Amino acid sequence: MNYEDRLQNVTVLGAAGKMGSGILLLTALEMADLGLKPENRSKSFVLNAVDISNDALKGVMKYLRKQVLKAAEKKTVLLRKMYQDREDLIENSDIIHQYVEDVLSIVHPTLRIESAYDSRLIFEAVNENKDLKVKLFSQIDKHNPEDPWFFTNTSSVPIGIIDQEANLGGRILGFHFYNPPAVQKLVELILSDNTLEEVRKFALAYAGKLRKVVVPSNDVAGFIGNGHFMRDALYGIREAERLAKDMPYITAIYLVNKVTQDFLVRPMGIFQLIDYVGIDVVRFIMQVMDPHMKDEELHSPLLDMYVEQGIRGGQNPDGSQKDGFFRYEKGKIAAIYGPYVKKYIPVDEIQETAEERFGEIPGSYIPWKATLKMKDKDAALKAFFDELKTMDTLGAKLAVRYGRRSKEIGEKLVRDNVARSAEDVNTVLLTGFFHAYGPINEYFD
Partner 1 sequence: MKLRKKIYMTAGYNTISLGTGRSEFNPKKSRPGIEHYIKEAGQGTLKKIGGAKNIDEGVIGNFMAARFNKQGNLPGFIPYIDEELQWKPCSSVEGACGSGALALVAGMKSVLADTAGTVLTVGVEVQNTVKAIYGADILAGAGWFQKRKNGHAYFFPGQFSDRAGAYYEKYGYERTRKGFARWFRNAIENARLCPTAQEHENKISDLEGLYLSREPNGKFFVDNLTVFDCSKVSDGASALVITSEEGLKKCGIDPQDAVEVVSFAQVERDVTKDPPDLTELTTIKKAVHRALDDAGITIDQLGTIETHDCFSIAGILAVEALGYAKPGEGADFVAAGHTARDGRIPINTTGGLIGWGHPTGATGVHQAVTMWEQLTGKAGEAQIEMPGDRPYGLTINMGGDDVTVVATVYKRG
**Shortest reach from residue 75's CB to partner 1, in Å:** 8
Binding partner 1 (rule: CB under 8 A), the pick from 54, 93, 167, 421 is 93
Binding partner 1 (rule: CB under 8 A), the pick from 2, 42, 91, 331 is 91
**Shortest reach from residue 364's CB to partner 1, in Å:** 23
Residue 96 makes contact with partner 1 by CB under 8 A: yes
* Nearest residue (CB) to partner 1, 96 versus 116: 96
DSSP string, 345-395: EETHHHHHHHHHHH-PPPTT---HHHHTT-SSHHHHHHHHHHHHHH--SHH
**Shortest reach from residue 204's CB to partner 1, in Å:** 23
* Nearest residue (CB) to partner 1, 97 versus 377: 97
* Nearest residue (CB) to partner 1, 77 versus 183: 77
**Shortest reach from residue 349's CB to partner 1, in Å:** 33
**Shortest reach from residue 66's CB to partner 1, in Å:** 14
Is 102 exposed, middle or buried, given 0-12, 13-18 or 19+ CB atoms closer than 10 A?
buried
**Shortest reach from residue 90's CB to partner 1, in Å:** 5
**Shortest reach from residue 372's CB to partner 1, in Å:** 17
| Cα-based angle 80, 70, 276 (whole degrees, multiple of 5) | 150
* Nearest residue (CB) to partner 1, 54 versus 93: 93
CB neighbourhood size of 3 (10 A):
12
* Nearest residue (CB) to partner 1, 30 versus 219: 30
* Nearest residue (CB) to partner 1, 82 versus 140: 82
| Cα-based angle 305, 307, 309 (whole degrees, multiple of 5) | 70
Kindly report the backbone phi and psi dihedral angles of residue 239, in degrees, each rounded to the nearest multiple of 5, phi listed first: -60, -45
Choose the binding region for partner 1 from 83-91, 122-130, 142-150, 337-345 (rule: CB under 8 A). 83-91
Residue 167 makes contact with partner 1 by CB under 8 A: no
Binding partner 1 (rule: CB under 8 A), the pick from 52, 90, 372, 379 is 90
* Nearest residue (CB) to partner 1, 100 versus 122: 100
**Shortest reach from residue 295's CB to partner 1, in Å:** 50
Comparing CA positions, the residue from 179, 272, 274 lying closest to residue 231 is 274
The packing angle between helices 249-258 and 270-277, to 10°, is 90
Cβ burial 143-152 (10 Å sphere, 16+ → b, else e)? ebeeebbbbb
CA distance 125 to 152: 7
Size of residue set near partner 1 by CB under 8 A: 12
Kindly report the backbone phi and psi dihedral angles of residue 110, in degrees, each rounded to the nearest multiple of 5, phi listed first: -155, 155
**Shortest reach from residue 37's CB to partner 1, in Å:** 18
Cβ burial 336-363 (10 Å sphere, 16+ → b, else e)? bbebeeeebbebeebeeebbebbeebbe
Q: What is the distance, to the nearest Å, from the Cα of residue 75 to the centroid of all Cα atoms in its chain?
A: 25
Binding partner 1 (rule: CB under 8 A), the pick from 92, 144, 164, 315 is 92
CA distance 84 to 254: 57
* Nearest residue (CB) to partner 1, 76 versus 144: 76
List the interface residues with partner 1, window 318-357 (CB under 8 A). Answer: none
CB neighbourhood size of 202 (10 A):
20
Collapsed DSSP state (helix, strand, coil) of residue 184:
coil
Contact 125, 12 (CB under 8 A): yes
Residue 370 makes contact with partner 1 by CB under 8 A: no
**Shortest reach from residue 89's CB to partner 1, in Å:** 8
Contact code string over 42-81 relative to partner 1, x by CB under 8 A:
-------------------------------x--xxxxx-
CA distance 229 to 439: 11
Comparing CA positions, the residue from 127, 170, 99, 398 lying closest to residue 280 is 127
* Nearest residue (CB) to partner 1, 76 versus 351: 76
**Shortest reach from residue 155's CB to partner 1, in Å:** 33
**Interface positions with partner 1 (CB under 8 A):** 73, 76-80, 87, 90-93, 96
